[in-house]
Amino acid sequence: MALSDASLALLDEARNLQPSTIRLRRELHRNPEQGLTLPDTQAAVLRALSDLPLRVHTGESTTSVVAVLEGSRPGPTVLLRGDMDALPLQEDTGLDFSSKVDGAMHACGHDTHVAMLASAARLLSARRDELAGRVLLMFQPGEEGYHGARYMIDEGLLDPAGPAGTPERALAIHITSTLRSGLVTCRPGSIMASSDVLEVTITGRGGHASAPHDALDPVPAAAAIVGALQTMVTRRTSVFDPVVVTIAHIVAGTTSNIIPETAYLQGTIRTLSESARATVHAEIRKICEHVAAGYGCTADVDVVLGYPVTVNDDRMAPHVLDLAGDLLGAEHTEPMDDPIMGSEDFSYVLQRIPGAMAFLGASPVGVEPGTAPANHSNRVTFDEDAMVHGVAMYTRFAMDALS
């Protein structure tokens, strides 16, 4: 089916903005910042928005930027999110705009998210007279494990008395190097997992390694716990409600002839429903304590809560795909069959607002999709041409909500 004149015009305008979209993306890529405090990134965003008719607010607890575009007529609020922070990684891409900061890299594409959202703000500003309501632009720090979205929500982002009132729908677009460039994919329901950190300290009684009967060795207890946790996943949770428990860090002892007093385990817990999350937390505690007791040891179990399950609205996710089909053509849309076990703090927004997280493919030119270095790799690169589709999708989603 041929694209409509309106879709072609919007894509042309997004393509015309591509030089400035790329310029901002590369500026951020050269100067990555991590965590909740991103002063240079915040300043770059403010410069990019400075000539637009927006009400701009900066965060108090983080270096967030919230910008509000008021339409020409009253109406609801729609939220568009772009996260801003980088990862603790040494870049090895060879790009001529590689990171200038040792040990920091935009390896998850957040630089592209910011650039796409800033250009969408420009397209929407030019269409202000067509909008009945307002657009809430959420430039968020601290997505990579720092709960940045929660900080912004705690400052009133989604409140009725907040910067733009409570939004009625929300969209975040996440770029990925492993999907065909320009492809938009989404699914209703759980799309990304919860993410919690498990820490277990097993305490026994130290002694000489030649006389284990005079000690209470925590190392065998720790090894048994690792195995028991994997059995728990397959025996205490449903295969139709996936769970991942991975112990990725084990510390015990100092040398070959000393039985240590303690052993330490650390790992990750991933689930796709809050009910499975609660079940797994309870079972983990039980298993660790009881297995340790069987070895004469004790286990101190701590589950550090991370991001909730990211759950797309059952109506909004298919709607995003419908909009993508109308805007980009059916060949650039694809329903997402399965969720992924990565996590996202856009989950905090989706707990409150009907909306969706969608993925935008940006596999590098000349590379078979699915074979490129993935997000979070020190070698990941993205096809910048895909950003045209991201800019247009943000714009179309808001216009659809406020037309």
Tens of pLDDT, residues 36-48? 999 999 999 999 9
The answer to whether residue 196 scores a pLDDT higher than 60 is: yes
Provide CB contacts within 8 A for 99, sequence distance 6+. 29, 30, 31, 32, 86, 91, 105, 106
- CB-facing half-sphere around the CA of 30: CA atoms within 13 A: 8
Pair of tokens at residue 174: 């996440």
Domains of the chain: 5-189+310-402 (3.40.630.10), 196-304 (3.30.70.360)
Q: Tens digits of per-residue pLDDT, 358-369?
A: 999 999 998 998
Catalytic residue among 13, 155, 344, 384: 384
pLDDT at position 5, please? 87
**CA–CA dist 310, 25 (Å, integer):** 26
For 99-117, write each residue's pLDDT tens digit: 999 999 999 999 999 999 9
- Specify the pLDDT at position 29: 98
Residue 3 confidence (pLDDT): 83
Burial letters 188-227, b for 16+ CB under 10 A, else e: bebbbbbbbebebbbbbebbeeeeeeebbbbbebbbbbbe
Give, for 361, the enclosing helix (H) or strand (E). strand 355-361
User: Is the pLDDT confidence value at 1 over 90?
Assistant: no
Mark 283-317 as b/e (b = at least 16 C-beta within 10 Å).
Answer: bbbebbbebbeebebbbebebeebbbbbbbbeebb
Residue 193 has pLDDT above 70, yes or no: yes
Average pLDDT over residues 59-86: 97
Tokens of 86: 């980088």
The pLDDT tens digits for 371-388 are: 999 999 999 999 999 999
For 135-190, what is the HEC assignment?
EEEEEECCCCCCCHHHHHHHCCCCCCCCCCCCCCEEEEEEEECCCCCCCEEECCEE
Q: What is the pLDDT of residues 272-301, one digit of tens each?
A: 999 999 999 999 999 999 999 999 999 999
Active site residue 384: yes
Task: State yes or no: is 307 an active-site residue.
Answer: yes
CB 360 within 8 A of CB 392: no
**Measured between alpha carbons, how far is 113 from 115 in angstroms, rounded to an integer?**
6
Residue 2: which pLDDT band, with cuts at 50, 70 and 90? confident
Q: Round the average pLDDT of the chain to a whole number and report it.
A: 97
pLDDT, residue 74, reads 96
DSSP secondary-structure letter at 205? B
Q: Token digits for 386?
A: 């895909």
Report percent pLDDT > 70 for the chain. 100
pLDDT 10s digits, 221-253: 999 999 999 999 999 999 999 999 999 999 999
DSSP H helices, 172-243, are 218-236
pLDDT tens digits, residue range 129-180? 999 999 999 999 999 999 999 999 999 999 999 999 999 999 999 999 999 9
- Annotated active-site residue in 307, 334, 344, 348: 307
Q: Is the pTM for the entire model greater than 0.85? A: yes
**For residue 192, which phi and psi values (nearest 5 degrees)?**
-140, 155
pLDDT at residue 389 in the model: 98
